[in-house]
Chain A
């Protein structure tokens, strides 16, 4: 399965340097991955901070709608650009503990995001009308605030290990 992914025509095309004149596909995909995760994670961080009590005069409903939309749109782009970087090195990276660690933290962070989104969708109107934000929501927001930056740092360490291994 992994060999098939790595040997596919797509993988070969992705690592061929004929893609664009000045930058190879690796750099382009990394750049798009960065822009996408910055949009996604930054938007989630803004909502999380709001739920933890910062910017109390900002409506949660009005902030949450564009923020979650940006988050899910951003994540879709993160996933696609991530999968395209995975394909050409599938066999080398799949068994690395750091890759597993990144996916594990990412999975927990995504579960938190889904749950947080559900809380906001259900309760934003009530919070804007003055109902206090329940501590369970605040715990989720704090987890989100801790988990997403952890995903970034773990991902960067994984990148370093992959570079070390390919020397």
Chain B
């Protein structure tokens, strides 16, 4: 028996999915769609700034000074991550029972963890020697490897996130019919 078939575990997440917060999100007109919109705005800020940083780490934009550019772009990505975590949690809640048993959800969480570890590894190694490589065109292979892992991981996270959307519990047809239709 896999752990997500464990009755206590399954019941806990079913309780979350039937809780007040989940009900509010599902029954408030357009709350789910707006939350998803906010989540996608977060994705854009996060992925766009990380991609620009990765281009620098790949050595493709050597005119960009690595130290101030990293600080600026990581501040954007860090703020976006907070928005993503909050909106992501709220999107998780109405479908908590399904996501808690979903391989796609765990793959996405695992990929985010790999992305975080990749960033941490970079911070603890190549970043400490940034003055040695940032002024030269090109980049050492370790720095390039970090950038390649980063691109692959975050693209995968977006793809898995879109996959999760197909497993989510959207408001039922009856609830949607009660929403004011302005379209």
Please give the residue numbers on chain A whose beta carbons come within 8 Å of chain B beta carbons, in ascending order.
23, 27, 30-31, 34-35, 37-46, 49-50, 54-55, 57-59, 61-63, 65-67, 70, 96-98, 148-149, 152-161, 163-164, 167
Contact = CB atoms under 8 A, between A and B. Distances in A.
Contacts of A157: 30, 33-34, 37
Contacts of A66: 52, 55-56, 60-61, 64
B76 A30 contact: no
A70 B170 CA distance: 33
Which of A39, A43, A67, A156: most chain B Cβ within 10 A?
A156
Given A34-B158, A58-B69, A163-B170, A42 B48 contact: yes
A40 B173 CA distance: 34
Interface residues of B, number: 47
B68 interface: yes
Secondary structure at the B interface, as helix, strand, loop or mixed, is helix
A42 B52 CA distance: 9
A163 B71 CA distance: 41
Which of B49, B51, B63, B68: most chain A Cβ within 10 A?
B51
Contacts of B92: none
Nearest to B67: A57
Given A58-B72, A62-B61, A70 B51 contact: yes
Contacts of B27: none
B159 interface: yes
Interface in B56-111: 56, 60-61, 63-65, 68-69, 71-73, 75-76
Contacts of B170: 163
A128 B41 CA distance: 29
Given A44-B48, A163-B170, A58 B158 contact: no
Interface string B139-163: 0000000000000000100110111
Interface of B: 30, 32-34, 36-38, 40-41, 43-52, 55-56, 60-61, 63-65, 68-69, 71-73, 75-76, 155, 158-159, 161-163, 166, 170, 173, 176, 179, 181-183
Contact of B48 (A46, A161, A163): A46
A62 B44 contact: no
B44 to A, nearest CB: 4
A70 B45 contact: no
Contacts of A153: 34, 37-38, 41
Which of A45, A59, A63, A97: most chain B Cβ within 10 A?
A63
A159 B40 contact: no
Given A42-B51, A70-B52, A59 B37 contact: no
Contacts of A156: 33-34, 36-37, 40
Given A38-B47, A65-B61, A157-B37, A31 B158 contact: yes
